[in-house]
Amino acid sequence: MAQIRARGIIVKQSDYGEGHRMLSIFTEEYGIVKAVSYGVKKTKSKTGAASQFLRYADFDLYQGVNKELMTVNSVDTIDAFYPLSEDIKKLSLCVYFADITYSLLGMNNPDERILHLFLNSVYALAYRNVSLQKVKTVYELKLMCAGGYMPAVGGCMSCGSADVYAFDLLKGGTVCRECGGKHIITLNKTLIRALNYIISCDDKKMLAFNASPDVLNSLGALTEQYIALQTDRRFPSLDYYKTISEM
Ligand SMILES: [Zn+2]
């Protein structure tokens, strides 16, 4: 049994019993952990009030006999990303980010790089004037790179030819006409340049490039299909985000 202090961000919340909340917290030290916040509906509970989706904080956690499930003792907020709480589109995009992050990382698997990519993306959505499509595409691609699925984009990944024309979602890289398989998305020079930039840039500069909405849309279609195919999952939160975005 132990008392743990961990810095992290709440990536999921759900009701738990009468007036309690089950949280998934993506922490620096322990990866994504589960913890219960008791009495969140009590008006005087500071911890309860802070036990919210996307709360970035130092958490005091108590690990009892059940190591898989901790208890939240206190929450010292660093950032609540308040502008997001009023924007359903941005919020639903963050839910999707949390889903794809969990599907790559699983529980109890610390990854500081992915945590910072996640935080950078949430920060950009809350405080910077960047399009949602851009943040989405870049997070999807950077997450895949950090999670061990970095696309190979220097020529055809099967035969080495410099004459690439498409991205093969299954092989995970660019291919020439001879080598392309069934799951391909045609590329042009602008798309290849954008792909290259995002893959190779410093994480801190991941949003510092210019691309037209058209380019971002095409690239976004590629990155979301790449994730779905490589993780072999469908993400209802992505469908929900798209439904809201069209309203
Ligand atoms: Zn080839």
Going by pLDDT thresholds of 50, 70 and 90, the confidence category of residue 246 is confident
* Distance of CA 182 from the midpoint of ligand 1 (Å): 14
* Distance of CA 155 from the midpoint of ligand 1 (Å): 8
Rounded to whole angstroms, the Cα distance separating 244 from 26 reads 26
* Distance of CA 156 from the midpoint of ligand 1 (Å): 5
> What pLDDT, on a 0 to 100 scale, did the predictor assign at position 1?
66
> What pLDDT, on a 0 to 100 scale, did the predictor assign at position 41?
81
- DSSP label at 65? S
Average pLDDT over residues 193-222: 95
* Distance of CA 175 from the midpoint of ligand 1 (Å): 5
Average pLDDT over residues 110-117: 98
Instruction: Tell me whether residue 168 is exposed, middle or buried, using C-beta atoms within 10 angstroms of its C-beta: 0 to 12, 13 to 18, 19 or more.
Output: buried
* Distance of CA 170 from the midpoint of ligand 1 (Å): 14
- Tell me the per-residue pLDDT of 115-144, one tens digit each, with 9 for 90 and over: 999 999 999 999 999 999 999 999 999 999
Long-range contacts of residues 31-34, Cβ cutoff 8 Å, at least 24 apart: 31/105, 31/106, 31/107, 31/108, 31/109, 31/110, 31/111, 32/101, 32/102, 32/105, 32/106, 32/107, 32/108, 32/109, 33/6, 33/8, 33/61, 33/70, 33/107, 33/108, 34/68, 34/69, 34/70, 34/107
Q: What mean pLDDT, rounded, does the chain reach?
A: 95
* Distance of CA 193 from the midpoint of ligand 1 (Å): 19
Q: Does residue 92 surpass a pLDDT of 90?
A: yes
Predicted model pTM = 0.95
- Tell me the per-residue pLDDT of 65-79, one tens digit each, with 9 for 90 and over: 877 889 999 999 999
* Distance of CA 222 from the midpoint of ligand 1 (Å): 19
* Distance of CA 169 from the midpoint of ligand 1 (Å): 15
- Tell me the per-residue pLDDT of 163-187, one tens digit each, with 9 for 90 and over: 999 999 999 999 999 999 899 999 9
* Distance of CA 161 from the midpoint of ligand 1 (Å): 5
Domains and CATH numbers, the chain: 2-80 (2.40.50.140), 87-245 (1.20.1440.120)
> What pLDDT, on a 0 to 100 scale, did the predictor assign at position 159?
96
Q: Do the Cβ atoms of 43 and 93 come closer than 8 Å?
A: no
Instruction: Tell me whether residue 190 is exposed, middle or buried, using C-beta atoms within 10 angstroms of its C-beta: 0 to 12, 13 to 18, 19 or more.
Output: middle
Instruction: Tell me whether residue 156 is exposed, middle or buried, using C-beta atoms within 10 angstroms of its C-beta: 0 to 12, 13 to 18, 19 or more.
Output: buried
* Distance of CA 70 from the midpoint of ligand 1 (Å): 51
* Distance of CA 166 from the midpoint of ligand 1 (Å): 10
Share of the chain above pLDDT 90, in %: 88
